[in-house]
Amino acid sequence: MNENYLSISEINQFIKMMFEENSYLKKVYLKGEISNFKHHTSGHLYLTLKDDESRISAIMFRSAAATLNFTPEDGMNVLVTGRISVYPAGGNYQIYIDKMEQDGLGNLYVEFEKLKKKLQQEGLFDPKYKKPIPKYPMKIGIVTAPTGAAIKDILSTIKRRFPICETLLFPALVQGVSAAQDVAKKIEMAQNYDLDVLIIGRGGGSIEDLWAFNEEVVARAIFASHIPIISAVGHEIDVTISDFVADKRAPTPTGAAEMAVPTIEEVKTLFSHKELEVASLLQKKLDDASHTLKKLKESYVLKNPMVLYETKIQKLDTLNDSLQKSMEMYLENKKIKIDHLKTSYVLQNPSALYEKKVENFQNLLVILRKNMDRILTKKNNDLQFILQTLKLVNPLNILEKGYSLVKKDGHIIQNIDMVSINDKLDIELSKGKMKVEVREIWK
């Protein structure tokens, strides 16, 4: 009978399993006020989230807590993301927090995720568009505020590591309403300079402080750049849209400078290696040349030069014999052709060729005359047809039938309204013209 009863541990584990298998509880988004906050020595955070009517226990493990860019405290309103599960030892359910941010920043987080998804779908984050950072840049552009720790760290790091590199600052607003537009403008301006690398960024700050580097206008300016870009925004835990689009992301401005240039020691090491490579190549060339020279010195031909001469003499005799045979064959072929011509019918009867040509000429002449007669007849018929047609349509033929053309100032009179008393008119007959004056008009 006792086997029907469960232990406390068993029922708590069963309830825990039910919670963890529920898809709605695997990732939840909560907002509330912190109370009973405790930062344990282990690094874990223990707290209660509450609103006006309810509360829930919460824990944030050390690894997740390390990503926070603020210090939680009682009374603070926050937005959290996590999963709901049961703590079997206590028999109570709680939220295991993965992310936490101050309330009021939630809208910015939504905008961040929305733009991130949009640009990712367009391919702006695709690795195939990432340009390699040159190993030994000689000219680096920097888009950041002209004052502050970021520019100082970048310049001092480059000068310390690779002093022969030239730097060019494009001072920009990195915070505020106009910051995004100004940063994008300076990135576009930098395209007109002969730069090997472009560093963009700023020092640390809140999400609002860094927001210019989460704007679409900056992301598209980075993507359109033909210069490789290193994004260096805030601290290592800060991630912006610019980081995803840039060709390389640095954890800090100092880290960006370290990525952009080698140390002078690395360059010296490179030169040493190249020096050894050049020396090795030269030595190999010398060894190869020495080996070739030795082979030539020991060659049979060089020791016995007459052998080469004798070989050439023998080859000349062979060519001479071949030429002689070719000439004899050529002359023989020509002789056969001449003999053939001598016995040909045309050569023995030269008048036959002339007579054949005369006969062909006479035949062509007859054909030519027939064609000429045929063409002339056709052209004459065409001419008669055209003359007849012109005669039919000639307006002057009407005059021969007793009609006349009446004109006023060179224009033909078509109705009585075109004439007035005392007008001078020209009358054209079939065989002459006359000028008359209008005395009366009848309509």
Alpha helices in 191-252 (DSSP H): 216-224, 241-245
pLDDT digits (tens, 9 = 90+) for 63-76: 999 988 888 888 78
Instruction: Give the number of other CB atoms < 10 A from CB of residue 389.
Output: 10
Q: Interior CA angle at 389 toward 384 and 391, to 5°? A: 95
Task: Report residue 300's pLDDT band, with 50, 70 and 90 as the boundaries.
Answer: low
Q: Provide the angle, in degrees to the nearest 10, between the axes of the packed helices 149-161 and 253-260.
A: 30
Q: How far apart are CA 50 and CA 37, in angstroms?
A: 12
Burial class (CB in 10 A: 0-12, 13-18, 19+), 206: middle
User: Are the CB atoms for 76 and 33 separated by under 8 Å?
Assistant: yes
Complete domains list, the chain, with CATH: 2-104 (2.40.50.140), 110-262 (3.40.50.261), 399-437 (no CATH)
Instruction: Give the number of other CB atoms < 10 A from CB of residue 29.
Output: 10
Element (H, E) at 98: strand 92-102
pLDDT digits (tens, 9 = 90+) for 203-243: 888 778 899 999 999 999 999 999 999 999 988 888 899 99
Q: Is the pLDDT of residue 368 over 60?
A: yes
pLDDT digits (tens, 9 = 90+) for 238-252: 889 999 999 999 999
Q: Is the pLDDT of residue 344 over 80?
A: no
Q: How far apart are CA 184 and CA 338, in angstroms?
A: 93
